[in-house]
Structure 1
Amino acid sequence: MTAPVQLRLVLESADLDAAVAFYRDTLGLPERESFDGPDGARVVILEVPTATLELANPAQIAFIDDVEVGRPAAHVFPLTVRVAFEVPDAAAASARLEESGAELVAPPTETPWRSLNARFEAPDGMALTVFEELG
């Protein structure tokens, strides 16, 4: 079997324009392409230079919640999904995200694995972490 060459995380949003403004304009993800379909169907594909698929068991999710938020975070879905973006400056990214309407769940916090992580709830309800590698 040939290894995949791309990872796409598809987020459904009832307000696509607001989601695009948040992820493209505020977070800075460049638009790769977009398509319109029948009956008002639209998709905008934003690009990240590199991506990873992070698989974590419930104990690790609880540990990350404790480190980033200081308590268990509310998990609305049966499967926990959180989008994490590495940024060069977590404090500046956090300020930008808050100004754009993201709800701050926990401010930038240094983690045991030497990163500075901040947790948000994006305007579309997605759990979002921005992190800056410190070492």
Structure 2
Amino acid sequence: MTTNRPKQLRLIIETDDFDGALRFYRDVLGMPEQAAFATEGDDRVAILHAGIATIELATPAHAANIDEVEGVPESAGHSLRIALEVDDTPAAVAATETAGLASIAPPIETPFRSLNARIQGPAGWQITFFQELEPLETRESREGFTTDDERER
């Protein structure tokens, strides 16, 4: 393992509707904002904390499987998606709907023991809210949970 591993994942979303995106992530979802450097005029940036970050690598077949599990229509179309762990998926969906964002798929309990829902976020990004229904230690003992190098191909 490298001794210079990343300390932070920062996802950069370029958007023409900066105010709308900022309102959504900071005000609707409640992500705290930290100070960030920008010059003036249209040079705007906001760095928002979203808790712990992970990178999920998925094949197209796995992404299609997740769409099916979450009840996402095939016509939803996407290539980039943000998944945010929340304490209460239905409440997160309700807050985004109140803010005028469209729901793509309602909350559904997945086979991997989370409560997932998908909405259409700002700047063309789809957002999955997921609420873990049991601790990772419990899920790890269930059939189908393993690391890629241990998984049969």
Q: Taking structure 2 as the reference length, what is the TM-score of the superposition?
A: 0.80
Question: 1:122, CA displacement in angstroms?
Answer: 0.9
- C-alpha contact 1:103 1:123 (8 A) present in aligned 2: no
Correspondent of 1:65 among 64, 67, 71: 67
2:45 partner SS: strand
Question: 1:39, CA displacement in angstroms?
Answer: 5.3
The residue number in structure 2 matching 1:82 is 81
Partner Cα distance (1:126, 1:112) in 2: 24
Q: Higher strand proportion, which one?
A: 1
Check if 1:37 corresponds to 2:39: yes
2:124 partner SS: coil
The residue number in structure 2 matching 1:12 is 14
Partner Cα distance (1:65, 1:33) in 2: 36
Moved more, 38-47 or 61-70: 38-47
Partner Cα distance (1:74, 1:13) in 2: 20
| Aligned sequence identity (%) | 48
- C-alpha contact 1:119 1:130 (8 A) present in aligned 2: yes
Q: What are the ranges of 5 or more consecutive residues in structure 1 without an aligned counterpart?
A: none
What amino acid maps onto 1:87 in structure 2?
V
Partner Cα distance (1:95, 1:122) in 2: 13
- C-alpha contact 1:34 1:42 (8 A) present in aligned 2: no
Q: Aligned residues, how many?
A: 132
- C-alpha contact 1:85 1:131 (8 A) present in aligned 2: yes
Greater Rg over alpha carbons, structure: 2
Partner Cα distance (1:128, 1:85) in 2: 7
The residue number in structure 2 matching 1:99 is 98
Q: Taking structure 1 as the reference length, what is the TM-score of the superposition?
A: 0.91
2:36 partner SS: strand
Q: CA RMSD of the aligned region, Å?
A: 1.5
1:36-59: per-residue Cα shift (whole Å, max 9, x none)? Answer: 225521110001221100000000
Partner Cα distance (1:24, 1:109) in 2: 25
Question: 1:32, CA displacement in angstroms?
Answer: 1.6
Q: What are the ranges of 5 or more consecutive residues in structure 2 without an aligned counterpart?
A: 135-153
